[in-house]
Amino acid sequence: MKLIIAVVQDQDSNRLSKALVDHNFRATKLATTGGFLKSGNTTFMIGTEDVRVDRALQIIKDNCKSRDQLVAPVSPMGGNADSFVPYPVEVEVGGATVFVLPIEQYMHF
């Protein structure tokens, strides 16, 4: 058994959730917050058999696309303002950050 932990952008959450259900994967969705952009994201916890891991990863890859987004920077508080950029910058967001962990025991009641 494996536990797949996938952190995805909120915009991809519903599409991924539907695709996982359509392919008979059980998942737990957690509302989470990213550290860099302080924006909402969703963490999926998916327990599955070893032989289905590649299929689950492909579903995640197909449904979580990266995109460019304009972000207004936060002004420095008491720090060095030399590197502060006072206008919005374009950053790449989205995609998925995925961890696959071995599971010693899995129970469903």
Q: What is the pLDDT of residues 18-67, one digit of tens each?
A: 999 999 999 999 988 876 556 678 999 999 999 999 999 999 999 998 77
Cα distance between residue 99 and residue 81, in whole Å: 36
With CA atoms as reference, report the closest residue to 56 among 30, 22, 31: 22
Instruction: Please give the model's pTM, rounded to 2 decimal places.
Output: 0.75
- Secondary element (H or E) of residue 48: strand 40-48
Retrieve residue 68's tokens: 């460019």
Cα distance between residue 99 and residue 8, in whole Å: 12
- Under 8 Å between Cβ of 28 and 16: no
Q: What is the pLDDT of residues 70-92, one digit of tens each?
A: 666 665 555 555 555 567 766 66
Query: What residues form DSSP beta bridges with 3?
Result: 47, 101
- Residue 108's identity, in one-letter code, is H
Give the pLDDT of residue 56: 97
Alpha helices in 1-109 (DSSP H): 10-22, 53-63
Burial 22-45 (b: 16+ CB within 10 A, else e): eeebebeeeeeeeeeeeeebbbbe
